[in-house]
Amino acid sequence: MVKKADLRTPIICVLGHIDHGKTSLLDEIRGTSIAEQEKGAITQHIGATEVPLATIQNKCGSLMKGDFKVPGLLFIDTPGHHAFTTLRNRGGALSDLAVLIVDVTEGFQPQTTEALKILRHFKTPFVLAANKIDRIHGWRPHEDKTFMLTYENQSEYTKRSLDNLIYRLINQLNEEGFSSDRYDRIRDFQKNVGVIPISAKTGEGIPDLLMILIGLAQRFLEGDLRLHAKGPGRGTVLEVKEERGLGKTLDVILYDGKLKTGDTIVVGSYGKPIVTRVRALLKPRPLTEIRVEEKFQRVDEIVAAAGIKVVAHSLDNALAGSPMRVVEDEALIEKISNDIKSELDDVKIKTDEIGVTLKADTIGSLEALVQELNDAKVPIWRADVGDISKRDIIETATIRDPYLAVVIGFCVEMLQDAKDEALKSQVQVFQGNVIYRLLEDYTTWVKEQQSISEREGLETIVRAGKFRLMLDCVFRKSKPAIVGVKILGGKIKPGVSVIKKSGINVGILKGIQEHGESRNEAVTGKEVAVAIEGPTVGRQIKEGDILYVDIPKKHARIIEQELCDTIPADELETLKEFLEIKRKIDPFWAR
């Protein structure tokens, strides 16, 4: 007979697209409001919440029948933004079961499909929570009731609307290779994915979801849960935090075995793994999220699965996202240390010879930044965990590309000497607590800088222009010739050379006047007086002639190859005519 003491708490991973309601679902179960506190309303790190069996029984009410031996459920809340694929991979790897949450009104989104790939990769059994049923037109909410009870109290129109949305989800799951149906129509949950309509806002359907999760854990996972209930603890470090009066501490998900005060543990670090002894174990209260808990309970021993704060010496260089192992036999310390180092060495971040510098607070965050920048095709030069230091600024300042002489820091501080150094250098620093906004800030800045550069470049480059000498508008024949002209395309400025259609250079445009006032330029359609040094009207040039700005070869190449998309149509047409003139003489001119 299986005893409750022999079973560890099942780990339930909650995944899904951004803003589809993962944290809101857990808030409803816990009776908290963590979703409102999130930076940018987005979960940034993996969190953990223990939900005792008594709470689940209370939520489920009469639905819960029979003797349940599992002590409760440990929920892992994963970041929803697509940048956190790697963090979700770790979340998926830790999970016994998963809840894939989908906004029933929106259906599958990119991160929904991404989550399914993770679940398939780890062969993690899951259910699909079809959230936000309260948003269906005509829906009459019945707070905290079972789905079937609230469903029966809806109008026929509303029922049909929900049925159609559920069928859409079932079809989308089928397209991804999963057989599924609404949960109340399924007999074998091992062969079919249960779709459970819920509202994290009103609590409708939450009893059904909890009942199915506890039932699946009891029925299908009992053997695995029993196997891992005892033995040396194994965990993953979620956060490394400074706690007042305690120094550096670790927020850990213990997913196997036991952890006791006094145990020797090995933890991953920036360099050689840390070997230390547990001074104290601080457990968050039931139904509280370890990320935001303030009143921990001191315990002597903890059994998997659980979220726990570990107090120990020498944790300054401990690395968030790294493994934590309990060592029962000191002879195994070296082997376990090597195993952890090898595991961390597998987390390789490919860098380029030139690129931006990244700093983040955890391995997962760093990998998320790297993935986002790789997708945007932004090269990465350095990527590391920790605060932005003076050395980071000095080394980044050696990058000559102004768009890449940049430090991007996620959830990290900038040390004072680094701030002082940044003020003296040309290095740009971007800091933030929401990855997608942080990277939007960087890409927006790059576009702005490129726009400024283009404007400055265009101001120094000789641009295409053509004009016609108007009839009866000769004010002086030579030294310089002053004539009335009409601009036919592009623009003209003082100081440029001008040529005839034959390609012959006729002189330099010395000045422009309009209504007796000097002008810096004249654009298409304008009629102005110009002074041309060199020709004599009636000899080298005559009324009715069309003249072109003589663009230097280097400038012509830049305009044609790099700036064509940025210049007006009339100027582009004038450029083409000018290039035809030049390439009649030399087919390879400015190519």
Place of tokens 């179960």: 29
Examine the domain organization and report whether 444 and 469 are in the same domain.
no
| Number of CB atoms found within 10 A of residue 68's CB | 17
Residue 390 sits in a domain of what CATH number?
Answer: 3.40.50.10050
Tokens describing residue 144: 């905290």
CB 368 within 8 A of CB 87: yes
What pLDDT is attached to residue 43?
Answer: 39
| Domain-embedded: residue 590 | no
The single residue listed with the structure tokens 């779709």 is 195
CA atoms within 13 A on the CB side of 219: 11
- The C-alpha atoms of residue 563 and residue 408 are separated, in whole angstroms, by 30
Report the SS3 class of residue 529.
strand
| DSSP three-state, residue 273 | coil
**Would you say residue 351 lies in a domain?**
no
Judgement on whether residues 212 and 263 belong to the same structural domain of the protein: no
Beta-ladder partners of 357: 382, 407
Range of the domain at 267: 234-345
Question: Are 516 and 423 in a shared domain?
Answer: no
The answer for residues whose C-beta is within 8 angstroms of residue 218's C-beta and 6 or more apart is 68, 69, 70
Distances (CA, A) of 84 to 15, 324, 509: 11, 21, 60
Q: Which two tokens stand for residue 57?
A: 């029984």
Residues 402 and 480 in one domain: no
Determine the Cα–Cα distance for residues 589 and 226; give it in Å rounded to an integer.
80
List for the chain the helix, strand, coil content (%; round to 5).
35, 30, 35
Instruction: For residue 303, give the nearest of 1, 504, 3 by alpha carbon.
Output: 3
Does some domain include residue 350? no
User: In the prediction, which pLDDT does 312 show?
Assistant: 95
Q: Cβ(559)–Cβ(464) under 8 Å?
A: yes
Residues 324, 265: one domain? yes
Structurally, the chain folds into a number of domains equal to 4
216 plus 285 within the same structural domain: no
**Shared-domain flag, residues 38 and 126:** yes
* Amino acid letter, 70: V
Q: What is the pLDDT of residue 437?
A: 81
Q: What is the CATH number of the domain that holds 9?
A: 3.40.50.300
Last residue of a domain, which of 227, 261, 293? Answer: 227
Q: Are residues 332 and 366 in the same domain?
A: no
Query: From CA 446, how far away is CA 355, in angstroms rounded?
Result: 13
Kindly state whether residues 317 and 200 are assigned to the same domain.
no
CB atoms within 10 A of CB 523: 16
The model scores a pTM over 0.75: no
d(CA 518, CA 511): 7
On whether the CB atoms of residues 78 and 46 are closer than 8 A, the answer is: yes
Looking at the fold, whether 12 and 110 belong to one and the same domain comes out as: yes
Q: In what order do the strands lie in the sheet with 180-182?
A: 47-52, 72-77, 11-16, 97-103, 126-131, 193-197, 180-182
d(CA 499, CA 382): 52
Which of 415, 432, 459 is where one domain is finished?
Answer: 459
The predicted pLDDT at position 36 comes to 42
393-428 exposure pattern, b = at least 16 Cβ within 10 A, e = fewer: beebbebeeebbbbbbbbbbebbeebeebbeeeebb
* 526: CATH: 2.40.30.10
Place of tokens 């009459």: 140
66 lies in the same domain as 178: yes
Could you tell me if 71 and 51 are in contact, meaning their C-beta atoms sit under 8 angstroms apart? no
C-alpha 89/C-alpha 85 separation (Å) is: 6
Per-residue pLDDT of the chain (591 residues; tens, 9 = 90+): 445 555 678 888 888 877 766 778 877 877 654 344 444 433 344 567 888 888 888 888 888 777 777 888 888 876 544 444 444 444 556 678 889 999 999 999 877 887 888 788 778 899 999 999 999 999 999 998 999 999 999 999 999 999 999 999 999 999 999 999 999 999 888 899 999 999 999 999 999 999 999 988 887 766 666 555 578 998 888 778 888 888 889 988 888 889 999 999 999 887 789 999 999 998 887 666 555 556 778 999 988 888 889 999 999 888 877 889 999 998 999 999 998 888 776 655 667 788 999 998 777 677 778 878 888 889 999 888 788 999 999 999 999 898 999 999 988 899 999 999 999 888 999 998 777 788 889 999 998 888 777 666 666 789 899 999 999 999 999 999 999 999 999 999 999 999 999 999 999 999 999 988 999 999 999 999 999 999 999 999 999 999 999 999 989 988 888 788 778 899 999 999 999 999 998 988 988
Q: What is the pLDDT of residue 95?
A: 77
In a domain, 427, yes or no: yes
- SS3 for 136? coil
End of a domain among 298, 323, 345?
345
**Count of all residues that appear for the chain in the document:** 591
**462 close to 496: Cβ distance less than 8 angstroms:** yes
Regarding whether 441 and 492 lie in a shared domain, the answer is no
What is the full DSSP assignment across 301-329? EEESSEEEEEEESS-TTB-TT-EEEEESS
Q: What pLDDT score does 44 carry?
A: 41
- State the pLDDT at residue 41: 37
> Exposure pattern of 84-100 as b/e (b: 16+ CB <10 Å)?
bbbbbbbbbebbbbbbb
Q: Is residue 163 part of a domain?
A: yes
pLDDT of the residue at 539: 92
237, 321 in Cβ contact below 8 A?
yes
